């Protein structure tokens, strides 16, 4: 059974519109829509895509959408999935963007944003906690974390260079470990 | 024209280097705020608040927003497409190598190192937000006048939410809703 490009677009359009509270909700959403309702791909396949998407750079929800779309209909399927998913968020933001300047001058909105801003600190803390558990697994990764945290939090070091630096160090460290016969 | 190209270049970098999803784009977006005058750090936090209550991944929302501020509708399109482009290309390449990808030595070594790096970058953003929201003027630190240094209301809300996040595990939207509510309550003026 070949799924049409249009149907892929429609499905991800729906997913994008329902994606509230960050990208993580995409996993249960896709399981129910793609696996259970439509049976386009198996649950194992989908969960595998989600797992790889989390490791890859980029926005996780976009990675997952592109994976699923590509599996269904190649590069056009992937494009339909990506565009479909961003459609509602894009329109919502463009509509809000033009009035945000006026909105943030209203005392009520200002206070709400102030509260939400503090809520976001907690959200980020929870994200860090979760990522930490998965990524800081030994002395080397701990050292890397401390180094990059200090450099970016207190010395304004470039985030792009931080990632490149980490990648290079990672390869060197693993090569060294291999040499030493571990 | 130059602006659009710069926008494209910067947001492709965001899409290519942010590791850890969701808030992982923030360190890069802060960096952009400092280097260009497309939007200020304050506006970024407002954008963040907006994108928490609108559908879609935060990274996409902020890209659309920043693009719109910089270059209108076309800017929004360019920034959104640019932030997604690396994902699109990368996933298609990885898909073809799917089985080998999991075993490749270099891929594994890079992932092993960039994951804690991405985590550290996000943690640094939390420090920055803490400084912006909770601390006031650090130079006037005075043990007898702590309110000149710390925003007590903000600190109270933060600690309250922190305890809530540990005691009761809820949907992220619940925390943000509670935070918004207290944003209003704590600023009520009874005088």
**CB of A118 closer than 8 Å to CB of A46:** no
As for how many domains chain B has, the answer is 2
In terms of domains, do B163 and B101 share one?
no
pLDDT band per the 50, 70, 90 thresholds, residue A148? very high
A115 touches chain B (CB under 8 A): yes
- Mutating which of B9, B56, B78, B170 best tests the A interface, going by the most A Cβ atoms within 10 A? B56
Query: How many C-beta atoms surround the C-beta of residue B137 within 10 A?
Result: 8
The answer to the question of residue B81 being in a domain is yes
Closest residue by Cα to residue B157 from A53, A5, A116: A116
Pick the residue with more confidence: B152 or A88?
A: A88
Residue B105 has pLDDT above 90, yes or no: no
- Put simply, the answer to whether A86 touches B56 (Cβ < 8 Å) is yes
Question: Residue A171 pLDDT > 80, yes or no?
Answer: yes
Same domain, B12 and B99: yes
**Chain A closest-CA separation from residue B105 CA (Å):** 9
Q: Domain range spanning residue B12? A: 2-112
The yes-or-no verdict on residue B30 having pLDDT over 90 is no
Q: Is B75 in the same domain as B154?
A: no
A–B interface: beta-carbon pairs under 8 A: 340
Residue B72, pLDDT above cutoff 60:
yes
Determine the distance in angstroms separating the CA of A99 from the nearest CA of chain B, rounded to an integer: 11
**Same domain? B7 vs B86:** yes
Average pLDDT of every residue of chain A: 87
Residue B142 has pLDDT above 70, yes or no: no
The set of residues, in sequence order, having a beta carbon less than 8 Å from that of B167 and lying 6+ positions away, is none
The verdict on residue B88 lying in a domain is yes
B104 and B140 co-located in one domain: no
Percentage of residues of chain B with pLDDT beyond 90: 21
Q: Are the CB atoms for A65 and A12 separated by under 8 Å?
A: yes
Tell me: do B17 and B95 sit in the same domain: yes
The pLDDT value given to residue B128: 84
A112: nearest CB among B98, B110, B184: B184
Indicate whether B94 belongs to any domain.
yes
Residues 142-181 of B with CB under 8 A from A: 154, 157-158, 161-162, 165, 171-173, 175-176, 178-181
Mark whether B105 and B18 lie in a shared domain: yes
Residues B88 and B139 in one domain: no
Identify whether residues B104 and B139 lie together within a single domain.
no
Domain closes at, from B81, B112, B143: B112
Which ipTM was obtained for this model?
0.83
- For residue B72, being part of any structural domain is answered with yes
Residues of A within 8 A of B90 (CB-CB) are 56-58, 63
How many other C-beta atoms can be found within 10 angstroms of the C-beta atom of residue B156? 14
């Amino acid at each position: 059974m070949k799924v049409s490009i249009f149907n892929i677009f429609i499905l991800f359009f729906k997913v994008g519109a329902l994606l509230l509270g960050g990208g993580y909700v995409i996993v249960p959403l896709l399981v129910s829509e793609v696996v259970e309702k439509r049976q386009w791909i198996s649950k194992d396949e989908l969960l595998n895509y989600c797992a790889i998407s989390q490791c890859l750079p980029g926005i996780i929800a976009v990675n997952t959408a592109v994976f699923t779309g590509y599996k269904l209909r190649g590069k056009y399927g992937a494009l339909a999935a990506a565009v479909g998913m961003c459609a509602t968020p894009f329109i919502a933001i463009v509509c809000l963007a033009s009035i945000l300047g006026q909105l943030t001058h209203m005392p009520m909105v200002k206070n709400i944003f102030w509260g939400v801003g503090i809520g976001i600190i907690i959200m980020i803390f929870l994200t860090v906690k979760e990522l930490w558990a998965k990524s800081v697994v030994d002395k080397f990764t701990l050292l890397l974390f401390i180094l990059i945290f200090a450099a970016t939090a207190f010395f304004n070091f470039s985030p792009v260079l931080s990632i490149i630096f980490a990648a290079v160090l990672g390869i060197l460290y693993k090569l060294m470990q291999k040499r030493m016969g571990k | 024209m130059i602006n659009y190209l710069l926008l494209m270049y910067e947001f492709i970098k965001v899409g290519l280097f942010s590791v850890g999803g969701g808030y992982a784009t923030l360190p890069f977006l802060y960096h952009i705020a400092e280097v260009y005058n497309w939007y200020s750090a304050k506006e970024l936090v407002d954008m963040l608040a907006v994108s928490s209550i609108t559908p879609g991944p935060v990274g996409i929302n902020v890209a659309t927003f920043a693009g719109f501020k910089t270059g209108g509708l076309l800017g929004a399109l360019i920034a959104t497409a640019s932030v997604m482009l690396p994902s699109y290309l990368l996933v298609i390449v990885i898909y073809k190598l799917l089985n080998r990808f999991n075993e490749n030595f270099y891929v594994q070594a890079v992932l092993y190192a960039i994951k804690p790096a991405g985590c550290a970058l996000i943690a640094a953003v939390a420090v920055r937000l803490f400084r912006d929201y909770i601390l006031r003027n650090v130079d006037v630190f005075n043990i007898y006048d702590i309110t000149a240094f710390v925003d007590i209301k903000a600190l109270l809300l933060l600690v309250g939410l922190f305890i809530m996040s540990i005691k009761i595990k809820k949907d992220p939207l619940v925390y943000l809703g509670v935070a918004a509510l207290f944003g209003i309550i704590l600023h009520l003026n009874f005088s």
